């Protein structure tokens, strides 16, 4: 049940992010890409702030971000600033078809970084799913393969995807903390950083209507997306969440058809079939074996009916709550995913 809920969060995150491209396109004739990116991130921070302030009355449900999280937080903000700049720079030196194709490398980059650096388990079935999903994104992105070319711009696009892949994995390491606080930090940090760069480059153009509309778009497309993405990563891990998140291009293409009249081509159907096959492989993956949990002490939101939180309280506690606790060593067998409680070696 928890697995299905996490998959739902990942797909909803993709739906939210899918709103970004078609609606952002409406603003690009009045706002520069860098300035618009800053506004969207800032909108994410402002939107989440409106939800976070009332939540302060309900203390104890989520673990707060602390100074120990500063390295990952700093990396997330810097990577979220660097990635779109690299992508836009690459776009100025290459063709849109090439950059669109290479932008899908983020899916594979997330999985490879999760495997190599963070030792997340990526099995053959998930690799097959990632392959199909990446292929579907390629089919969706490219109209004419003869127009593809590889240049400095292509390398910059690849670097952008590596930044986003690394950022996805940094976010995964923070996934047990309050997702609202993470969105606030990412939104205001990356938003103000991108806006500062836009001012320095002389790309800040004030169009009041576009600015006011971009902020709520950022609140949903960026803020809502990141919030749901973090909830999904708690159970699915970085690689699997990235696979489901690849639904975003399809949402974007479909909404582009509705919002700006972009026609739906035959490659959309072919790409959707590939995506559906990849999503099926990812959703039906099973991973079960005998494994051992070593002693682990940390703080996060948890319940006492999941078989992993058996510590006691002075007074009876029911439902979700958060506090610093210690997991005693335990060895058992059950189906599991590479969440932060299942980082054992294979």
Task: Summarize pLDDT for 113-142 with one digit per residue, the tens.
Answer: 888 887 777 778 878 888 887 887 777 666
Give the residue among 41, 25, 16, 21 at the shortest CA–CA distance from 198.
41
Question: For the chain, what are the domain ranges?
Answer: 2-288, 294-335
H/E run at residue 291: strand 288-293
* Strands annotated E in the chain: 288-293, 296-302, 321-327, 330-335
Q: To which H or E segment does residue 289 belong?
A: strand 288-293
Please report which confidence band the pLDDT of residue 183 belongs to, taking 50, 70 and 90 as the band edges: very high
How much is the mean pLDDT over the chain? 78
* Higher pLDDT pick, 307 / 154: 154
pTM for the whole thing? 0.75
- Smallest CA-to-CA distance from 204 within 69, 60, 336, 32 is with 32
pLDDT value at position 218? 93
Phi, psi at residue 277, to the nearest 5°? Answer: -65, -40
Report CA Rg, the chain: 21
Q: How far apart are CA 165 and CA 107, in angstroms?
A: 7
pLDDT higher than 60, residue 285: yes
Closest by Cα among 93, 106, 85 to 38: 85
Instruction: Kindly report which listed range (3-17, 145-159, 181-195) carries the lowest average pLDDT score.
Output: 145-159
Greatest mean pLDDT among 143-157, 168-182, 211-225, 313-327 lies in: 211-225
**What is the Cα–Cα distance from 103 to 84, expressed in whole angstroms?**
11
Q: Is the dihedral of CA 70, 72, 73, 77 positive or negative?
A: positive
Look at the block and give the residue holding tokens 């053959």. 124
pLDDT for the residue 87: 75
Pairing mode of beta strands 330-335, 296-302: unpaired
Q: Give the DSSP letter of residue 305.
A: S
Q: 289: closest CA among 242, 332, 330?
A: 332
pLDDT tens, residue by residue, 137-157: 777 666 555 655 556 777 887
pLDDT 10s digits, 62-83? 778 888 889 999 999 999 888 8
The pLDDT tens digits of the residues spanning 230-253 come to 888 888 877 778 777 777 666 766
């Amino acid at each position: 049940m928890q697995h299905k809920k996490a998959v739902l969060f990942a797909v909803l995150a993709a739906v939210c992010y899918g709103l970004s491209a078609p609606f952002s396109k409406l603003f690009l004739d009045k706002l520069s890409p860098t300035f618009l990116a800053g506004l969207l991130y800032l909108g994410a921070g402002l939107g989440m702030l409106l939800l976070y302030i009332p939540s302060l009355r309900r203390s104890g449900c989520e673990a707060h971000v602390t100074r120990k999280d500063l390295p990952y937080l700093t990396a997330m903000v810097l990577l979220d600033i660097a990635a779109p700049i690299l992508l836009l720079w690459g776009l100025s030196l290459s063709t849109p078809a090439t950059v669109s194709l290479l932008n899908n490398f983020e899916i594979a980059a997330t999985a490879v970084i999760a495997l190599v650096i963070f030792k997340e388990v990526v099995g053959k079935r998930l690799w097959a799913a990632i392959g199909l999903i990446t292929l579907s994104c390629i089919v969706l992105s490219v109209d004419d393969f003869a127009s593809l070319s590889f240049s400095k711009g292509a390398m910059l696009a690849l670097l952008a995807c590596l930044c986003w892949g690394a950022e996805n994995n940094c976010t995964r390491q923070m996934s047990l903390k309050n997702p609202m606080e993470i969105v606030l930090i990412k939104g205001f940090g990356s938003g103000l950083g991108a806006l500062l760069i836009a001012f320095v480059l002389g790309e800040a153009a004030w169009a009041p209507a576009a600015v006011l509309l971009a902020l709520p778009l950022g609140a949903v497309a960026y803020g809502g997306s990141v919030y749901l993405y973090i909830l999904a990563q708690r159970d699915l891990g970085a690689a699997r969440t990235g696979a489901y998140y690849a639904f975003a291009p399809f949402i974007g293409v479909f909404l582009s058809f509705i919002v700006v009249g972009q026609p739906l081509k035959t490659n959309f159907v072919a790409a959707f079939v590939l995506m559906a096959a990849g999503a099926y492989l990812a959703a039906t993956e099973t991973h079960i074996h005998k494994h051992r949990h070593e002693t682990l002490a940390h703080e996060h939101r948890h319940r006492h009916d999941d078989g992993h939180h058996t510590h006691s309280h002075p007074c009876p506690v029911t439902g979700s709550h958060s506090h610093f606790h210690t997991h005693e060593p335990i060895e058992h067998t059950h189906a599991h995913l590479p969440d932060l409680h299942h980082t054992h070696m294979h």
